Amino acid sequence: MSNFKISVRQFGVHAILVEWPNKVEESILDEILQFIQYLKKNQLSEKEWEFVPAYNSLTLICKDTVLDFDYFKPKLKEWYTLIEKVSLAPRYLWRLPVSYDLEFGLDLQEISSQLGLEVERLIELHSNSIYTVYGIGFLPGFMYLGGVPEALEVPRKSTPRSKVTKGSVGLAGKQTGIYPQDSPGGWNIIGKCPVPMFNVKNESPCFVTVGDKIQFYPISMAEYQLHKIEAEVGIYNIEKIVLDA
Amino acid sequence: MLNILKSGFFTTVQDTGRFGYRDKGVPVAGIMDSYSTSKVNTLLENDPNCAVLEITMTGPQLQFDEDTYIVLGGAEMSVTLNDIALENYKVYQVKSGDILNYGKLEKGFRAYLGIKDGFNTEAVLGSRSFFKPITEKDSIKKMGDLPYTTCKLFNPKISQLKVDSVLDKSVLEVYKGPEYKLLTDNQLGKLFYREFSVANENNRMAYQLNETIEENKVSMLTSATLPGTVQLTPSGKLIVLMKDGQTTGGYPRILQLSDMAMSILAQKRSGDHIKFKLK
């Protein structure tokens, strides 16, 4: 039996929104991923449907046709009771290098004084934590990561930057993440990751999937430059560890 | 090839968009006014996914270097082919060397140029729709060219269509969005009884509206958004997400536009008025 009660609602004529309790919890995310896996395997073809998970919701989007919501509502509730029979797709812990050099960590010194933490301690806390990918959105390859230690919670900048450069690692509130492309942004910038989060030339353009985990590890400026070149020519191997389902 | 002599204000290649990458944060993109382009592709007896040019506000000047057939649609602009005026929704044969010139915008905002069998520009992640940085370019550039397949002879089953144009419409039919029930009576009153005008902040990603309804204090966990989702910001502003809109958001999704309403809105520009009507 599944653990949570879900609600199934119509979202326009091409999509259905399935929602779990309004909480950020790994057990909820696990059930969402299990439900996706079950639906893909048994009920809804990936040719016709898109599956967008985020925190406590799953949005099912149908390619062309107008959905018969009255058909799908009871069906989805019924299918949800059957999810235990599927095993989850493998999940990964991705270890991503970050240079916390002050040249990249534009706001490191400022938030270090705001938080009352030495820069070294701040970097240690940020890179010792393991973060869960609760969603991908906002920009192609932008991860919503959960698991920021309380000691690192810092408000977003009062004035957003009109341009945050690609690869910048940001910190704001309970969230941290990497800007996958140049973009306006209001997060505090603490470093830069040389590994592109999104590459259209790859068969799978974004290596991370919702449910994966991320850990950052500090590298020097020289290592950053090296990895950046390796990534550009396509020989950088991202460190990954298979997680137990 | 179709040679670009002038690019116009913002001209892009669009098809029905990218499918299957929204869980990686990739917007669908694709044709903004899909109602009008469906007529264009129908007349050319094209597949509905055939790529067209989407021409925004001011048009390009284009020279064909192979024979083919074209159909114009969407916004009304004064368009000439070698100085002969053309109409929307009518099949025209073009010859190598012909020059298509877009003049004044008369009505609407986005005009479409369909070509027999569609433009053959590079498909990225399953779609030819321009969307930077998924595609290299965000719009066509002067001196560039757009590939298409030569068509010497085509006998269209129908050579002209009378289309019930979206250009004169201003009522947007909407469905209740996932967070519709958060709306107070006061907010609902404003939402459905007043007219809204399109703000200067309008593009392929989103249309903001000038008028506000009461502010909204409720925050929610980030969740999926769709083209046509109407978001309510904390200050009471309404944002209608369009085809290039982000795939997730944290603002309440109060309404969802019908497909036809998306096409109607896609033809509006700053200052134009619209009304919402529950479907």
Kindly state the greatest CA–CA separation across chain B. 61
CA B97 to chain CA mean position, Å: 29
β-strands B52-56, B99-115: how paired? Answer: antiparallel
Q: How far is B134 from chain A (nearest CA, A)?
A: 6
Asked if the model's pLDDT at residue A58 lies above 80, the reply is yes
pLDDT tens, A184-234?
A: 999 999 999 999 999 998 888 999 999 999 999 999 999 999 999 999 998
Residue A1, pLDDT > 70, answer: no
Higher local confidence (pLDDT), A194 or A86 = A194
Q: Which domains does chain B have, with CATH numbers?
A: 2-146 (no CATH), 171-278 (2.40.100.10)
What pLDDT shows up at residue B275? 98
pLDDT band (50, 70, 90) for residue A49: very high
- In angstroms, the separation between the Cα of residue B126 and the nearest Cα of chain A is 11
What is the pLDDT at residue A86? 77
What sign for the dihedral angle of Cα A31, A36, A40, A45? positive
Supply the DSSP string of A76-92, one letter for each residue.
HHHHHTTGGGSPPPPEE
pLDDT value at A126 more than 90: yes
* Average pLDDT over all residues of chain A: 94
Give this complex's ipTM: 0.95
Where do the structural domains in chain A lie, given as residue ranges? Answer: 7-85, 91-243
**pLDDT number for residue B264:** 98
CB contact under 8 Å between B223 and A17, yes or no, is yes
Q: Which pairing describes strands B223-224 and B248-249: parallel, antiparallel, or unpaired? A: antiparallel
Q: Give the CATH fold of the A7-85 domain.
A: Gyrase A; domain 2 (3.30.1360)
Looking at the predicted structure, is the pLDDT value of residue A2 above 70? no
What pLDDT, on a 0 to 100 scale, did the predictor assign at position B201?
A: 96
CB contact under 8 A, A140 and B22: no
Pick the CATH number of A91-243 from 2.40.100.10, 3.40.50.2300, 3.50.50.60, 3.40.50.720: 2.40.100.10
Contacts of B246 in chain A (CB under 8 A): 137-139
- Regions in chain B scoring below 50 on pLDDT: none
Give dist(CA A77, CA A75) in Å, integer. Answer: 5
pLDDT given at position A19 = 98
Q: SS3 letters for chain B?
A: CEEEEECCCEEEEECCCCCCCHHHCCCCCCCCCHHHHHHHHHHCCCCCCCCEEEEECCCCEEEECCCEEEEEEEEEEEEEECCEEECCCECEEECCCCEEEEEEEEEEEEEEEEECCCECCCCECCECCCCCCCCCCCCCCCCCEECECCCCCCCCCCCECCCCCCCCCCEEEEEECCCHHHCCHHHHHHHHHCCEEEEEEECCCEEEECCCCCCCCCCCCCEECCCCEEEECCCCCEEEECCCCCCEECCCEEEEECHHHHHHHHCCCCCCEEEEEEC
- Residue B94 is predicted with a pLDDT of 98
Judge: A200–B125 Cβ closer than 8 Å, yes or no. Answer: yes
* CB-nearest partner of A140 from B19, B25, B229: B25
For residue A69, pLDDT over 70 is answered with yes
Kindly state the percentage of chain A with pLDDT values over 90.
87
Distance from CA of B253 to the nearest CA of A (A): 9
Which of A50, A183, A197 to substitute to test the interface with B, most B CBs within 10 Å? A50
pLDDT of residue B215: 85
Q: Which pLDDT belongs to residue A84?
A: 80
The pLDDT score that the predictor gives to residue B101 is: 98
Mean pLDDT across the stretch A26-34?
Answer: 94
When scoring A9, A10, A11, A65 by the number of chain B Cβ atoms within 10 A, the one with the most, hence best to mutate, is A11
Read off the tokens for B242: 């369009």
Which whole-number Å values give the CA distances from A158 to A183, A201, B128, in the listed order? 17, 36, 39
* A245 band by pLDDT with thresholds 50, 70 and 90: low
